Copies of this chain bind each other. A is one copy, B any other.
Amino acid sequence: MWLRVDPRLSVPVYQQVVDGIKAAIASGLLRPGDRLPPVRELALELTINHNTVAKAYQELERERVIEVIRGRGTFVAARPSGRPPDYEERVKTLQDEMRRIWIEAYHLGLDADTVQEMFRAAAPGAKDAKEGTGDAVGRRGEIADEDA
């Protein structure tokens, strides 16, 4: 299974589901149009409550990451479709988290270049190549899968 959750972690289980699915999409494991497991089925596999899965799906739908069709199922949405809701806010949050990382790195005594390198290495592409011209984050390789 491409998803695992751990109730002992401090991050909420439903958030782990959200993050996991987003990661699977960003890495190309899930592609636009792919169908996600039904809430009850996924709940069974993860040994959590179906309400928890539902909460995750609702958050993902709110972020336009998936599309939900009542009675049919949930599907991976067709790409970062335009500007998701709260775009500005989320970018700001991203910047805040970046600053927080730098501060944390400082208190760990990490070298600035090391931090930069760590960040590059954390990218979904996960390669040392530079090549970085203009294509979207993740899935550098077979990026030509716009809609499905």
Contact = CB atoms under 8 A, between A and B. Distances in A.
A138 B102 contact: yes
Interface in A77-93: 80, 82-84, 87, 90-91
Interface residues of A, number: 50
A84 B100 contact: no
A25 B132 CA distance: 34
Given A113-B132, A116-B120, A97 B101 contact: yes
A22 B102 CA distance: 11
A112 B135 contact: yes
A142 interface: no
Contacts of A44: none
A146 to B, nearest CB: 8
B98 A119 contact: yes
A124 B101 CA distance: 10
Nearest to A103: B26
20 contacts: A19-B103, A22-B104, A26-B103, A63-B107, A65-B107, A84-B109, A94-B104, A95-B122, A97-B101, A98-B118, A99-B122, A101-B122, A102-B137, A111-B135, A111-B136, A112-B132, A112-B137, A113-B134, A116-B132, A119-B119
